[in-house]
Each structure stands twice: as C-alpha cells, then as structure tokens.
Structure 1
Amino acid sequence: MKVAVIGCTHAGTAAINNIVNLYPNAQIDVFEKNDNVSFLSCGIALYVGGVVKDPNGLFYASVEHFERLGVNMHMNHEVTACNLDGKQIQARDMKTDETKSYSYDKLIIASGSWPVTPPIPGSDLENVLLCKNFEHAKEIIKCSESARNVVVVGAGYIGVELVEAFEENGKNVTLIDSEERILNRYLDDTFTSPVEASFKQRGIELALNQTVSQFEGTGTVKKVITDKGEYNADLVVMCVGFRPNTGLFKGQIEMLENGAIIVDSYMRTSVQDVYAAGDCCAVPNNATKQHSYIPLATNAVRMGTLVAHNLLNPILEHPGTQGTSGLKIYNHNIASTGLTESAAKLAGLSVASATMEDNYRPEFMPENAVIQIKLVYETETHRIVGAQVISDADFTQAINTISVGIANHMTIEQLALTDFFFQPHYNKPVNFLNQVALKAMAKETEKVRKQEQILV
C-alpha cells in the first residue's frame, strides 16, 4: 500500500506514527513545505517571553526519526497539482525547482491552515510578520530584540499570549482588534474583563473596536493606522485568524464555504481513498451537532490518529469535538469548552446560562481563591452545550470534565447530581460543578413556577 501524506505538523505527524505501527509494509511518502515537522506553534509566545529557552523543545518529532522508520520524507517540497481521480500528485522541490509526479493508493490531506492576511496597504513592509511556523517564531524573536514599540493585531489566544510575552520583555505594546473585547469567540465578557484590566494595569494599550487600514514606514514599518487612530510600531505581528490551506483541492472535494474539507466520522472525504485531518478540515461539533471549523492541535492529533486506523476499513469513529481550550495570562487561569452564550444563539440554539462565583474551599481554610464558572445549556432539553472558568487558582481541568459531559449529552440535572469527592483542601461539600448546575436547575424551576402562575 502506497500512502501519500500532504503536510506534517500535528495531523500528519500523528497519522505517520500510527501508519508505521499499523501497516509496517506500507510505503509512506510525506510532502512538507518546511524543513521540520511537528512544530508546536502554541509555544511561540513562550519562546518570545523567554519561558522556553531552547526552541528545539517546541518539536515532538523529527525528520530523522521518521526516516529511520523507513518513511520517505520529501521536505521543502510543495505539492503543486493533485489528480484525485488518477491518484497522482505533483510536487516541486523548492530548493532545486524540480517537479516530479508520485502515485498513491491512499492520500491523506493534512495541509493545515495559514494565517488570514487582509489586503492592508503596507503589509509588505519589513517587520510586519505572521505567527504560525518555526520560521515565523525565529523572525519574531530576531525583530523583537531591537523593537521598542510592538503592535499585535488580533485578540485571539495567540494574540493575547504574545501581548503578555512582549510586555514582560519590557516592550511598549498595543493590541488592536476589530471586536469590542478580547477573546470574544471563546469567552463571555465577564471572563475577558479581568484579563483586559490586567493588560491596562501593565500599560498595554487596548485599541479595540478598531480596524487596521494601513501600515506606514519607509522600508520598515513605523506606524499602524486604524479607522480611529495611529500607533507607533517597530514590529507588527498579525494574529487575525486562520483559514484552511485547501486551495489545491477546490472543486475536487466537498468543502464548507471557508474551504474546510468535509469528512465523515471515519475521516473520509467525498472522494474515495482520500482522507483529510487537522486544520484543513471541518470537524463534527458535539455542541451544535454540525460540522465546524475549529483549528486546534488537539483536534488535529485525534484526526490524524483516526485516519491511520481507518485507512483500510472504517473501524474507529470520530467522537466529535467540543473545541476545548485553556489559557494562562498573568494570574488568570482560563478554560472553555463548547459554546459561549452568544455563539450558541448564533448557531440557532435556544440557550440559557447559570454562573457561580465563590471560594473554592470552605471559608475556615487559611488560604483560598475565588472561582468563577459559567454553564450554558439548551432550554428545551437542558443539554449542556458550553462552559467557561476563570480563577487565580488552576481549575482548568474542570472544563475537561464538562467537555466529557457535552460529548455524552449530559444535562444540567445529571451534572448537578454527579458524584464528586469532598476534601477541604480541594473543594466544598457541594463541588463547584454541582453548584453551578444546581443554579441552572433552580433557574429552570423558577421559570416553570412563573409559567404555572400565569396559567392559573
């Protein structure tokens, strides 16, 4: 069996590792535009902030390792054409400019994503950088050494992590985003407000609800112009978002409007013997019960693993995803899963929510911390569809618990009565997950009581 793999970050790496173990006689050809594999881009901010000293630690697999396993690693190779009906691909050696054709029996598309690059005048100026791969990371580090004024465009996870890293390195930092608040796709306002307050306390300028219209400078960027102001900049890092890197397959495979490849629960595309995994794909979302584009390393690893197991026969189904993620900014430990209240409504769900804020341990304990947690649920079924948590203490693992609940269609009643242990060092007699679910139950009971009074 000849297997061709396009792309080798998280999904590609997971697929190769499993194929080698499951099908030791398979011939594997991997085509990757970079000279490295398995780069953890989520570690770029840690590298910028000096937490990670050795950037080589941001890799968990190597080209040499795969080659020792007998994998044909075509590094610095760009796939330029793909005949899915004829099971042929063309790849160009980016060093020699030589193009060759390769045949396959099974094709795995793990081409990933690429940063969104709006057509802003001045984007070609020096020191206007993207933030995705290892080369970007090295370029950001190099440019930041002499930069005093740094502008980050985009207030998603990567953007806010970079803002923290630059500020801790003594830079004057401005964060620009077209939305009214940071992290709006992942968290509701009560969970983003504390982070914004921390940024302001540290002198970070939040230029929110603003759109970048131009970069100015002679050769090198010096200013960022928005529809509401202008900001000095020696370095600009663009973190606007990501899009599926699937242009090569447009018109050949079924996709969402944004170009994300649609796969079934066995990672099969609409074309026989063609599979897809990772950031190039849409994944089944357990909260919305629809396909969604959720580019996360965790999703990519799962999908790459599934592709390998299902290459010959459909035996292992994708369990769906909740888009579970976590974040640490200064003293704030934050995590979320599923949908925010606003995202749920945009998805057409009728939802309500319950929020709990309390000390996580009994008040007689000498040390304590406040935990704030929010539960989002469907009003008709009481099915949990999302949750968020923030605290100075680390309760992010609680979101993993709710993620499992969403995957298994758990209701607020079931969570309220779930058996969690009690020990004063760790929690209260009524666990905070039970508490927030009980609040949701009380809210629904009160709603029914009011409706009954109206009928009477």
Structure 2
Amino acid sequence: MKIAVIGATHAGTAAVKNMAELYPEADITVYERNDNVSFLSCGLALYVGGVVEDPQGLFYSSPEELTAMGVRMRMQHDVIDIDTNRRRLRAKDLVTGEEHTDTYDKLVMTTGSAPIVPPIKGIDLDNILLAKNFRQANTIIERAEKAEHVTVVGAGYIGVELVEAFKQAGKRVTLIDGVDRILNKYLDKEFTDVVENDFTERDIEMRLGESVTSFEGTERIEAVVTDQGKIDTDMVILCVGFRPNTGLLKGKVDMLENGAIKVDRYMRTSNPDILAAGDCCAVPYNPTGGHAYIPLATNAVRMGTLAARNLEEPVMPHVGTQGTSGLHIFGLNMASTGLTETSASAMEHTVESVLVTEKHRPEFMPTSEDVQLKVTFEPESRRIVGAQVISKADMTQAINTISAAIQGNMTIDELAYTDFFFQPHFNQPWNFLNKAGLAAQKTLVRRGKQAVS
C-alpha cells in the first residue's frame, strides 16, 4: 500500500506515527512545506513571552524520528496539484525549485489551517506579522525587542495570550477586535467582562467593536487606522482567525462553505481513497449533531490517530467533539466546552443557561477563591450542551467533566445528583456542578417542566 500524507503538524504527525506502526510494509511519504514537524502553536505565546526558554520543547517529533520509523520525509516540499482520478500528485521542492510527480493508493490530507490575512490597505508594510508557526514566532521575538508599542488585531485565544506576553515584557499594548467583546467565540459576556476588567486595570488599551480600515507607514508600520480612530504603533500582530488549507481538493471532495473538508466518523472524505484530519476538516460536533469547524490541536491529534486506524477499513469511529478548550491569562483560569449562549444564538439553537457563583472551597479554609460556572442546556430535552468556568483557582477540570457529560448525552437532572467527592482542600460539600444541575431543575420546575423519570 502506497500512502501519501500532506502536512505534518498535529494531525499529520499523529497519523504518520500510527501508520508506521500499524502498516510496517506500507510505503509512506510525507510532504511538508516547513523544515520542521509537530510545532505546538498553542505554546507560541509562551515562547514569545519567555515562559518557554527552550523552543525544542514545543516539538514532540522530528523529521529524523519519522524517518527512523521508515517514513520518507519530503521536507520543504509544496504539493501544488492533486489528480484524484489518477491518484497522482505533483510537488515542488521549495529549496531547488524542482517539481516531481508521485502516486498513491491512499491519500491523507492533514494540511491544517492558515492565518486569515484581510485585504486591508497597507497590509504589506514591514513589522505587520502573523502568529502561527515556529518561523513566525521567532520573527515576533526578534522584532519585539525593538518595539515599544505593540498592536494585536484579533481578540481570540492567541491574541489575548500575546497581549499578556507583551504586557509582561513591558510593552505598551493595544488590542483591537471588530466584535465588542474579547474571546466571544469561547465565553459569554459574564466571563469576558472579568477578563476585560483585568486588562483595563493593567492599562491595556482595548479598542473593541472597531474595524481596522488601513495601516499607515512609509516602509514600516507607523499607525493603525480604524473606523473610530488612529493608533500610533511600531509593531502589529494579526490574529484574526484561521481558514482551512484545502484549496488542493476544492471541488473534489465535499466541504463546508468555509472550505473545511467534511469527513465521516471514520475520517473518510466523500472520495473513498482520501482521508482527512485536523484543522483542514469539519468535525462531528456533539452539542448540535452536525459538523463544525473547530481548529484545535486536541481535535487534530485524535483525528490523525483515527485516520491511521481507519485507513484500510472503518474500525474505530470518532466519538465527536465538544470543542473543549482552556486558557490561563494573568492568573485567571478559564475553560469552555460546547455551546455558549452566544454561539447557540448564532446557530439558532434554543438553549437556556444557569449561572452558579460561589467560593471554590469552604470559607473556613485559609484561602478561598470566587468561581463562576455557567451550564447551558436544551429546555425540552434537558440535555447539557455547554459550560464555561472562570476563577483564580484552577477549576478548569470541571469543564472536562462537562465535556464527557455532553458526549454521553447527560441531562441536567443527572448532573444534579452525580457522585462527586468532597474534600475541603478542593471543593464544597455540594459540588458546584451538582448545584448547576439543581439550579437548572428549579428553573424548569418554575415553568411546569418536571424531570422525566
């Protein structure tokens, strides 16, 4: 069996390692544009901020390791065309410029995602940088040494993490986003208000609900112009989101409108010879039962592993995802899973929520931090479909628990009486997850909706 793999970050590396073990007789070739594999981009801000001093710790594999497993590594090779009818691809060596063709029996697409670069006037000015791969991280570190004011465009996870890194490095920082809240894809307003207030207290300038209209400068960035004003700056980091890198298969396999490849629960595309995994894919999304584009490293490694296992025949289905993620910013620990009220509204999915606010452990303990938990559920089915938490105490593992609850179709009634331990060092006698379930029950009882036995 001849296998071609395009892309070797999270999904690709996981797929290749597993394929090398499962199919030792297979002829496996990897095509990768970069000179490295498996870069943990989720650690990029930690590297930029100096928390991670040795960048090698951000790689969990290498071309040498995969070569030693019998894999042919075509590093710094760009696949420029795929003929799915003939099962043939054409690739260009980015070092020599030479092109060659190759054939495959099975193709595994793990091409990942690419940063969105908006078509804004002045976008090509020097010191307007992207934040995705290892090379870009090194460029940010190098340029930041001479920068006094940094403007971050995009208030998602990477954006706010970079804001923290630059602020701790003593820079003046401005954060711009076209939406009126930061982290709006992951958290509802009750939670983002907490983070925004903390940013304000740290003299971080937030220009929310503003759209960048142009960048100004002679050769180098000097100012960012928005629809509401102008910000003088000497460095800009664009973090406005990612798009699936799937142009090679456009019109050749089924995709969502944004270009994400649709796969079944065995990572198979609509073409029987092609599997796909990672950030180039739309994943089965348990809260709604449909597909969703959720570019997370955790999704990618699971999908890559499954692509390898299901390469010859469907043997192990994907259990679906909840889009579970966490974040640590300036001492605040937050995490979310599934639908927020914001995302549910955008999807026109009817939900209700309950908010629980309490101390994370008994107040007779020497210290006790505030914790805020929100659980979102469907009022008719009573099924849990999402949750969010924030606290100075690390209560984020509760969101992993809710993620498992969503995957198992747990109701708020079951959550109310689930068995959780109590120990004063860690929690309250009534676990706050139980309390959320009880609160949801009371909400529905007031409307005459009793639990179904």
Whether TM exceeds 0.5 here: the answer is yes
**What is aligned with 2:226?**
226
**What is aligned with 2:187?**
187
**What is aligned with 2:302?**
302
Q: Distance in 2 between matches of 1:361 and 1:127?
A: 47
Q: Distance in 2 between matches of 1:276 and 1:268?
A: 7
Q: CA deviation at 1:449?
A: 7.5
Structure 1 residues 414-447: Cα deviation after superposition (integer angstroms, max 9, x where no partner): 1111000111111111111101111111111111
Q: CA deviation at 1:365?
A: 1.7
Q: Distance in 1 between matches of 2:413 and 2:199?
A: 38
**What is aligned with 2:27?**
27
Q: Distance in 2 between matches of 1:419 and 1:449?
A: 24
**What is aligned with 2:420?**
420
Q: Contact 1:180/1:208 (CA < 8 Å) preserved in 2? A: yes
Q: Distance in 2 between matches of 1:146 and 1:55?
A: 21
Q: CA deviation at 1:256?
A: 0.4
Q: Contact 1:322/1:403 (CA < 8 Å) preserved in 2? A: yes
**What is aligned with 1:335?**
335
**What is aligned with 1:454?**
none
**What is aligned with 2:244?**
244
What letter matches 1:183 in structure 2?
A: L
What letter matches 2:412 in structure 1?
A: I
Q: Tell me if 1:257 matches 2:257.
A: yes
1:279 aligned counterpart, secondary structure: helix
Find runs of 4+ consecutive structure 1 residues off by over 4 angstroms. Answer: none
Structure 1 residues 46-71: Cα deviation after superposition (integer angstroms, max 9, x where no partner): 01111011112111100111111111
**What is aligned with 1:57?**
57
What letter matches 1:175 in structure 2?
A: L
What letter matches 1:174 in structure 2?
A: T
Q: Distance in 2 between matches of 1:365 and 1:126?
A: 54
What letter matches 2:5 in structure 1?
A: V
Q: CA deviation at 1:345?
A: 2.4
Q: Contact 1:288/1:344 (CA < 8 Å) preserved in 2? A: no
**What is aligned with 1:99?**
99
Q: CA deviation at 1:128?
A: 0.3
**What is aligned with 2:216?**
216
1:448 aligned counterpart, secondary structure: coil
Q: Distance in 2 between matches of 1:359 and 1:252?
A: 54
Alignment of 1:307-456 (within 5 A): 307-448=307-448
Structure 1 residues 1-25: Cα deviation after superposition (integer angstroms, max 9, x where no partner): 1110000000000000100111111
Structure 1 residues 298-337: Cα deviation after superposition (integer angstroms, max 9, x where no partner): 0000000000000111000010000000000012100000
Structure 1 residues 147-179: Cα deviation after superposition (integer angstroms, max 9, x where no partner): 001000000000000000000000000000000
Q: Contact 1:350/1:380 (CA < 8 Å) preserved in 2? A: no
Q: Which sits farther off after the overlay, 134-143 or 341-350?
A: 341-350
What letter matches 1:375 in structure 2?
A: V
Structure 1 residues 164-201: Cα deviation after superposition (integer angstroms, max 9, x where no partner): 00000000000000000100110001101111111111
Q: CA deviation at 1:363?
A: 2.3
1:207 aligned counterpart, secondary structure: strand
Q: Contact 2:115/2:242 (CA < 8 Å) preserved in 1? A: yes
Q: Which sits farther off after the overlay, 21-30 or 340-349?
A: 340-349
What letter matches 1:139 in structure 2?
A: T
Q: CA deviation at 1:366?
A: 2.1
Q: Distance in 2 between matches of 1:103 and 1:399?
A: 44
The alignment's C-alpha RMSD in Å is 0.9
Q: Distance in 2 between matches of 1:329 and 1:363?
A: 25
Compared with structure 1, are the counterparts of its residues 449 and 41 closer, same or farther at alpha carbon in structure 2 (3 Å cutoff)?
A: closer
**What is aligned with 2:291?**
291
Compared with structure 1, are the counterparts of its residues 449 and 408 closer, same or farther at alpha carbon in structure 2 (3 Å cutoff)?
A: closer
Q: Distance in 2 between matches of 1:408 and 1:244?
A: 29
Structure 1 residues 78-110: Cα deviation after superposition (integer angstroms, max 9, x where no partner): 000100111100000001110000011110000
What letter matches 2:34 in structure 1?
A: N
What letter matches 1:276 in structure 2?
A: A
What letter matches 1:140 in structure 2?
A: I
Q: Contact 2:147/2:234 (CA < 8 Å) preserved in 1? A: yes
2:355 aligned counterpart, secondary structure: strand
Q: Contact 2:66/2:73 (CA < 8 Å) preserved in 1? A: yes
Alignment of 1:83-122 (within 5 A): 83-122=83-122
What letter matches 2:260 in structure 1?
A: A
**What is aligned with 1:275?**
275
Q: Contact 1:111/1:245 (CA < 8 Å) preserved in 2? A: yes
Q: Contact 2:28/2:71 (CA < 8 Å) preserved in 1? A: yes
Per the normalisation by structure 1, the TM-score is 0.98
Per the normalisation by structure 2, the TM-score is 0.98
Structure 1 residues 236-283: Cα deviation after superposition (integer angstroms, max 9, x where no partner): 000000000001111111100000000111000011110000000000
**What is aligned with 1:453?**
none
Q: Distance in 2 between matches of 1:374 and 1:282?
A: 26
Q: CA deviation at 1:348?
A: 2.5
Q: CA deviation at 1:346?
A: 2.1
Q: Distance in 2 between matches of 1:190 and 1:45?
A: 25
Q: CA deviation at 1:364?
A: 1.9
Aligned length: 450
Q: Distance in 1 between matches of 2:424 and 2:145?
A: 47
Q: Contact 1:288/1:347 (CA < 8 Å) preserved in 2? A: no
What letter matches 1:296 in structure 2?
A: L
What letter matches 2:377 in structure 1?
A: Y
Q: Contact 2:360/2:393 (CA < 8 Å) preserved in 1? A: no
Unaligned runs of 5+ in 2: none
2:183 aligned counterpart, secondary structure: coil
Structure 1 residues 368-415: Cα deviation after superposition (integer angstroms, max 9, x where no partner): 111100000001101000000000000001100000000010100011
**What is aligned with 1:142?**
142
What letter matches 1:33 in structure 2?
A: R
Alignment of 1:65-76 (within 5 A): 65-76=65-76
Unaligned runs of 5+ in 1: 451-456
Q: Distance in 1 between matches of 2:45 and 2:290?
A: 32
Q: Contact 2:7/2:111 (CA < 8 Å) preserved in 1? A: yes
2:447 aligned counterpart, secondary structure: helix
Q: Distance in 1 between matches of 2:374 and 2:123?
A: 40
**What is aligned with 1:39?**
39
